[in-house]
Chain A
Amino acid sequence: MEHPIGLSIRRGTKVYPGTVALSNVDFDLRMGAVNVLVGENGAGKSTMMKVIAGVEQLTDGKVLIDDEQVIFKTTEDAAKRGIGIVFQELNLFPNMTVAENIYIAREKTRGGIDIDKTAQRETARALMKRLEQDIDPEDLVGDLRVGQQQIVEIAKSLAQDAKILILDEPTSALSAAEVEILFRVIADLKRNGVGIVYISHRLEELIQIGDYITVLRDGVITGAQSMDGVDVDWIVRNMIGESGKDFAKEIEHPYGDEVFRAEHVSLGRVGGGMLVDDVSLSLRKGEILGIYGLMGAGRSEFLECAIGRHPHASGQIFIDGTQLKTKTVSGRIKRGLALIPEDRKNDGLVQILSIRENMTLSSLGQFTRGIQMNLKKEKRIVADFVKRMTVKIASPEHAVSSLSGGNQQKVVISKALMTDPKVLLMDEPSRGIDIGAKAEVFRVMRKLAADGLGIIFVTSDLDEVMSLSDRILVMSNGKITGEFSRETATNTALVEASAIGHKTISKNKESA
């Protein structure tokens, strides 16, 4: 089947002060197909898409639609030509409803003044149905989980009837089931002739869904072809320039005594029901426990209960066999717990502060005598961690916001490790970071476990949970629905366990 070229970039170059983000790229965007774009963070994928969407302009070269040069000065210019983009960072208003967000700046109105709320609500409801999501258009976006918010973001561009739709890592917060729904929507869009650009770090996913692939490395296109015959090895080779960086190699080591135990942890949901429903689990020293499950299964909430973010949660937490009496985060950090939050930007880092200040935020006591901090010692500790974690930074005094996602994550992990924890709780540790950084993070996790740290990590990525965990728990609807050892775990078993408790919904769908 022939796919017509809907948009192309010729000899596109984009120079930022001090760095060349794109250099002489030729890119063809085919309609009615999924154009996959892949590369490490900072390779220029996002820059290229920002050029197409009118966020940025090329320094040199041109963008063509139907052999005619177009210049998008703003996103509106691009939107007028039917180009929609879903950014990696969510651009939603948490204080507004789902329907209001979907129609933001394009409100359906009567006579240009009065907002037609009913029409917005109904079309939003239809969109949610198309995306097979049980989200009420009247819900506040701020009350939704990150994954659901991403669905809303996708719905927003669907509502614009875009001819070209750019999805920048749309699945990074979605669970397997939600990813499947998204893929069905994408297939549907393809049939309608929409050209889709799909950026992701999940390579299997790209192979599954892509029709054409373009690989970028350091602003240069290193591979572009149709998806036939492309495998993970080929992608990785083009991305990194060397054959295969595999995920963390196994370090065999014995487990120690039980270090962490949770008993009957429960957390109620606002408006009835349970987010975390009577979860009990235990963890041994040196063990990596993976918790797999769908979005909203209560995995993140369980970790938050453990660290003490929800003071009204019930249940007991034990460290080294003794129960934690304290309900405060600071108290629990002192007792040896540390959390790497899912939402790095909002929960993990203070963007305005420097890298050094972020790293030591949880462990200021370490170099404080009386009330005075020893700033020299602080610098030394930070330099030590920067080296150990291989954080790429120009200076620890720069704002943490100047770093790439992977390096920011390493800063968050350093912050947690500085408190000298016994148990590390990691919520989606690989979210939004490139494959190189991901491999490094995993290697660090393996090494920490070998040193006797207990690690509980939450992920929606099957490969990740399979390759990294010593033991796997599956959660669904707030409950633990399956436990697997390294030997008994299979992809199908995990997916099945993660769907337990969702049967009623799927039945409804069948009858509908």
Chain B
Amino acid sequence: MADQSIAAKARSSSDALLIFLKARTFIALILVFVFFAINAPNFMSTANMVIMSKHVALNAILAIGMTFVIVSGGIDLSVGSIVGLCGMVAGYLILNGIDIGLGWSMQFNTLEICLLVMLVGIGVGAVNGFLITKLHVAPFIATLGTLYVARGAAMLSSDGRTFPNLHGNPEYGSDTFRWIGAGEVFGIPVSICILITVGILAAYIAARTPLGRHIYAVGGNERAAGLSGIKVNQTKYFVYLFSGFCAALVGLIIASQLVAAHPATGDTFELNAIAAAVLGGTSMSGGRGRIAGTIIGACVIGVLSDGLVMMGVSSFWQTVIKGLVIIAAVVIDQAQQKLQARVALQAQAALGK
């Protein structure tokens, strides 16, 4: 009797620890938030909140696409370059339209521009998917290749120059382009609305659709997934297409926010996206990860870097701190996995008695 209650107590304490570990990124976010609220002047001001959430949104959108890719067992290094390329395509279309010869050019309104840009992002994703599934190039190498190609293409599109003054032209209906970066819906900045939409969509796919389940299965064990009748290649195509789509959205938002497109935009964004996903509990070996976790991970990174800036910490130290946080996150994640496996084994052993 006494033994049982001790065992029960031990179990409930390890259960509590497990819940604590599972919520660790969220707890970290709260701690970071409270820390800066106390130490950084003006941190809690509405203006700062809006700016910060806009920063977070960019990384979070990329990280959502990245989460699916990583969960499926792959990696997408090309997203930063896709952001740059898509910004340039948007800028080019607003300024020049498409020259169809004979001195004529085709001009587009904002919606058409957005659709074309998304098509470009999805197109690069399709190339990634093709290389990985049909030509069997390792994801790391394939997307490293498209990273360079897309960045080079962005540079070529303007000879390395910036497309300035993307105010659009009311005659063509493209003057509303600025709304993406500066507009609001019910008082919420558009970029946040996009994050919420993409986040809900991705979380829904992950939790409630066969496609989502397939992504997890392919990442967990590709062979078993294939033998279970899952169309492995289609699943992989989807994650790279979706990642390219997310990157295109970010490219549009940045071009609109800056009212300009620079070909170097988005450099190393892919690393921030990977960091956010990992911080949120996504396993680099595939099969495990949650969209909500990724968004919280992106928040931690965003709050941390903006807060440190406001406190006047040197950017060199910021980089060091960011690295340490990521390493700590992975170490704690390992501990959680071990504990979780132990709890499951205990429950199984208790059953065997």
Contacts and interface: CB of A to CB of B under 8 A. Distances in A.
Interface of A: 16-19, 42, 307, 309, 328-330, 332-334, 339, 341, 346-353, 357, 360-362, 364-365, 368, 371-373, 375, 392-395, 398-399, 401-404, 415, 419
Contacts of B200: none
Interface in B294-346: 340-342, 344-346
A350 B344 contact: no
Nearest to B218: A350
Contact of B341 (A372, A401, A419): A401
A285 to B, nearest CB: 22
A17 B287 contact: no
B217 interface: yes
B341 A399 contact: yes
B216 interface: yes
A329 B287 contact: no
A346 B224 contact: yes
Top-8 shortest CB links A-B: A394-B347, A19-B349, A18-B346, A350-B220, A333-B229, A364-B210, A330-B229, A398-B344
B351 A392 contact: yes
Contacts of B231: 328, 330
B227 interface: yes
Given A350-B287, A373-B210, A394 B344 contact: yes
Contacts of B259: none
Contacts of A348: 224, 227
Most chain-B CB neighbours within 10 Å: which of A17, A309, A362? A17
A357 B217 contact: yes
Most chain-B CB neighbours within 10 Å: which of A350, A375, A419? A350
A349 B227 CA distance: 10
5 contacts: A17-B345, A17-B346, A19-B352, A347-B224, A348-B224
Contacts of A399: 340-341, 344
Interface of B: 7, 207-211, 213-214, 216-217, 220-221, 223-231, 283, 286-288, 340-342, 344-353
Contacts of A334: 229
A334 B230 CA distance: 11
A361 B208 contact: no
B221 A394 contact: no
A19 B7 CA distance: 11
A329 B221 CA distance: 16
B350 A361 contact: no
Contact of A341 (B227, B286, B341): B227
A392 B352 contact: yes
A332 to B, nearest CB: 8
Nearest to B343: A398
Contact of A350 (B209, B224, B345, B349): B224
A344 B7 CA distance: 33
A360 B210 CA distance: 10
Most chain-B CB neighbours within 10 Å: which of A19, A42, A393, A401? A19
Contact of A365 (B210, B221, B228, B346): B210
B221 to A, nearest CB: 4
B344 A402 contact: yes
Contacts of A353: 216-217, 220, 287
B228 A415 contact: yes
Given A17-B342, A394-B344, A329 B349 contact: no
A347 B213 contact: no
A403 B341 CA distance: 11
Given A346-B221, A398-B344, A18 B350 contact: yes
B99 to A, nearest CB: 41
Contacts of B227: 307, 309, 329, 339, 341, 347-348
Contact of B348 (A333, A360, A402): A402
Contacts of B283: 352
B341 A402 contact: yes
A160 B94 CA distance: 73
Contacts of B342: 17
A462 B129 CA distance: 47
A414 B286 CA distance: 24
Contacts of B349: 16, 18-19
